C-alpha cells in the first residue's frame, strides 16, 4: 500500500477535488453530512480552534496495487488505522473512494487541529511515520508490501538499529535524520538556511572544508549525541547532492515567481473590465489565454504563465504531486481549447457580418 500526503490551507479546494472526480463517493468519516458547503464550514470551525496554524488541511491518498481491491468496510478500517497511526485520534475527517484509475484508492481530508484541545498534529517526521504505519497496515490486512521509491535512494537502518527500534518503540537516529532533512529541503533558500532550520529542530550540522581549496566539500549531522556523515545516510544526503537539490529548488521557485507576476498583471488587466469584475477563476484564465494568443506568445510561455493561475495555485497547495499534475494539466488544456473556440467563433461572426 502506498500513502501520499500533503498539507494545505483550503478545505473547500480539497473537498472540491475529491468530490469532482467521476464516480467519487463519500464512504466514511466522522462528519455526517455529504454537503460540500456543510463539510467546509465544519472543518473551518475546527481550524478556528487554533488560529495560529495556517496549514490546517491534511490530505492523504491511500492506494493498493492494481491486482488488489478492498471493500468499503475494509477501506474504512484501513483509513481509521492510518489516521490513528499518524496521531489523528481526535480530529475531524472524511473519506472518499475514487475509481478513476486502475489502482483502488481512497482520499482522506482531515483537520490537523484536534477538536478536544485545539492542538495541532505535528508534522516534522510524518512522512517517515506514514511509511511505518503503511507497513503495519499491509501486515494486518494481508496486503502486498510496496516499497516507496524514496526508500531505495537512502541507506536503510542497520540490523542493530532495527532491533533498537523494536525494543524501544522509537525510530532510530538515522531514520529521524533522513526524515528531517527531506522535510527541510522542500523550502530551504540556501545551504546555510537549510542548516539553520535543522538546528532549530535540535539537529547539529557541521560542514567540512577542503584544506587545499577552502571550499565546502562535506557535511555531517548529529542528533541525540549520534553523528552521521551525510554520505552514510545515503547518496542524496552528501553535501554535493544536497547543495544541488537546494539550488534546483531555488531556481524553480524564482522561475515561478517571475511567471506569477506576469499572470497577475494579465489578471489585473482583465478584471479592470466591468464584465469580468465578479468572474470565476476559469473565466479569467480563458480571457488571459485569449490575450496571450492575440499577443502571439509561444506555447511554452503561455503554459508557464497560465500555470500560475489562482486555480492552479490552489490545487498546488491541496493536492499531492501526481494528482496536482493530472488535475492542472487537464484544466490548462481545457482553458486553451475554450479560448481557441471563442476566438474562432468571434472570427466567424465577424466574417459573417462583413459578408452582409
- DSSP H or E run through 109: strand 105-111
What separation in angstroms does the CA of 118 have from each of 7, 8, 45, 114, 149? Answer: 18, 18, 11, 5, 35
pLDDT in tens, 254-277: 777 888 889 999 999 999 999 998
What CATH topology corresponds to 2-122? BirA Bifunctional Protein; domain 2 (3.30.930)
Per-residue pLDDT, 124: 62
- pLDDT above 60: residue 143: yes
Backbone dihedral angles phi then psi of residue 223, each to the nearest 5 degrees: -145, 135
Confidence label for 62 from pLDDT (cuts 50, 70 and 90): very high
Per-residue pLDDT, 111: 96
- pLDDT above 50: residue 188: yes
pLDDT higher for 185 or 78?
Answer: 78
In degrees, to the nearest 5, what angle opens at C-alpha 37 toward C-alphas 31 and 38?
30
CA atoms of 354 and 352, how far apart (whole Å): 5
CA atoms of 93 and 239, how far apart (whole Å): 40
pTM for the model stands at 0.51
- pLDDT above 50: residue 149: no
Confidence label for 161 from pLDDT (cuts 50, 70 and 90): confident
The 8-class DSSP code of residue 118 comes to -
- DSSP H or E run through 255: helix 239-271
Report the share of the chain in percent with pLDDT over 70.
Answer: 96
- DSSP H or E run through 108: strand 105-111
How many other β-carbons are positioned within 10 Å of the β-carbon of residue 77? 16
The 8-class DSSP code of residue 119 comes to P
Confidence label for 250 from pLDDT (cuts 50, 70 and 90): confident
Question: Which DSSP string do the residues of 156-221 spell out, in sequence order?
Answer: PPPHHHHHHHHHHSS--HHHHHHHHHHHHHTT-SSHHHHHHHHHHTT-EEEEEE-TTT--EEEEEE
| Mean pLDDT value across residues 96-120 | 93
Which residues are CB-neighbours of 249 under 8 A, at least 6 positions away?
A: 185, 186, 187, 188
Most distant CA atoms of the chain, gap in Å: 88
| Mean pLDDT value across residues 198-208 | 95
| Mean pLDDT value across residues 195-219 | 91
Backbone dihedral angles phi then psi of residue 207, each to the nearest 5 degrees: -105, 150
Question: Which DSSP string do the residues of 30-57 spell out, in sequence order?
Answer: S-----HHHHHHHHHHHHGGGTT-S--E
Report the share of the chain in percent with pLDDT over 90.
Answer: 55
CA atoms of 311 and 267, how far apart (whole Å): 12
Per-residue pLDDT, 253: 75
- pLDDT above 60: residue 12: yes
Q: Which residue has the cell 485569449?
A: 290
pLDDT in tens, 125-134: 677 788 889 9
| Mean pLDDT value across residues 158-165 | 78
CA atoms of 71 and 291, how far apart (whole Å): 49
Q: Would you say 97 and 27 are in contact if contact means Cβ atoms under 8 Å apart?
A: yes
The 8-class DSSP code of residue 90 comes to S
Question: Which DSSP string do the residues of 288-334 spell out, in sequence order?
Answer: HHHHHHHTT--HHHHHHHHTTSHHHHHHHHHS-HHHHHHHHHHHHHH
pLDDT in tens, 315-330: 888 887 778 888 888 9
How many other β-carbons are positioned within 10 Å of the β-carbon of residue 149? 7
Which residues are CB-neighbours of 331 under 8 A, at least 6 positions away?
A: 282, 311, 312, 315
CA atoms of 182 and 240, how far apart (whole Å): 15
List the end-to-end C-alpha distance of the chain, in Å, as a whole number.
65
Amino acid at each position: 500500500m502506498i500513502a501520499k500526503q500533503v498539507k494545505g490551507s483550503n478545505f473547500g479546494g480539497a473537498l472540491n477535488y475529491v468530490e469532482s472526480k467521476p464516480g467519487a463517493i463519500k464512504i466514511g468519516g466522522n462528519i455526517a453530512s455529504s454537503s460540500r458547503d456543510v463539510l467546509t464550514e465544519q472543518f473551518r470551525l475546527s481550524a478556528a480552534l487554533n488560529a495560529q496554524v495556517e496549514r490546517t488541511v491534511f490530505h492523504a491518498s491511500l492506494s493498493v496495487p492494481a491486482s488488489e481491491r478492498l471493500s468499503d468496510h475494509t477501506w474504512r478500517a484501513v483509513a481509521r488505522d492510518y489516521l490513528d497511526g499518524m496521531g489523528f485520534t481526535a480530529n475531524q475527517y472524511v473519506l472518499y473512494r475514487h475509481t478513476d484509475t486502475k489502482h483502488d484508492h481512497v482520499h482522506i481530508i482531515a483537520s490537523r487541529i484536534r477538536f478536544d484541545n485545539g492542538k495541532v498534529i505535528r508534522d516534522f517526521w510524518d512522512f517517515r511515520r506514514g511509511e511505518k504505519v503503511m507497513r503495519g497496515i499491509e501486515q494486518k490486512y494481508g496486503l502486498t508490501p510496496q516499497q516507496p521509491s524514496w526508500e531505495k535512494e537512502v541507506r536503510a537502518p542497520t540490523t542493530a538499529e532495527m532491533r533498537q527500534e523494536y525494543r524501544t518503540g522509537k525510530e532510530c537516529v538515522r531514520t529521524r535524520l533522513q526524515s528531517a532533512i527531506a522535510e527541510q529541503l522542500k523550502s530551504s533558500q540556501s545551504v546555510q538556511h537549510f542548516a539553520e532550520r535543522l538546528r532549530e529542530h535540535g539537529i547539529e550540522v557541521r560542514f567540512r572544508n577542503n584544506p587545499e581549496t577552502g571550499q565546502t566539500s562535506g557535511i555531517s549531522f548529529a542528533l541525540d549525541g549520534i553523528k552521521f556523515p551525510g554520505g552514510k545516510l545515503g547518496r542524496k544526503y552528501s553535501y554535493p547532492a544536497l547543495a544541488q537539490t537546494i539550488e534546483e529548488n531555488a531556481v524553480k521557485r524564482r522561475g515561478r515567481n517571475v511567471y506569477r507576476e506576469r499572470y497577475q498583471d494579465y489578471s489585473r488587466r482583465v478584471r479592470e473590465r466591468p464584465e469580468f469584475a465578479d468572474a470565476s477563476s476559469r473565466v479569467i484564465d480563458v480571457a488571459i489565454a485569449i490575450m496571450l494568443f492575440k499577443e502571439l506568445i509561444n506555447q511554452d510561455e503561455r503554459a508557464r504563465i497560465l500555470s500560475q493561475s489562482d486555480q492552479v495555485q490552489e490545487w498546488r497547495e491541496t493536492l499531492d504531486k501526481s494528482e496536482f499534475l493530472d488535475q492542472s494539466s487537464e484544466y490548462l488544456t481545457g482553458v486553451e481549447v475554450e479560448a481557441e473556440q471563442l476566438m474562432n467563433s468571434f472570427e466567424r461572426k465577424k466574417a459573417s457580418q462583413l459578408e452582409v
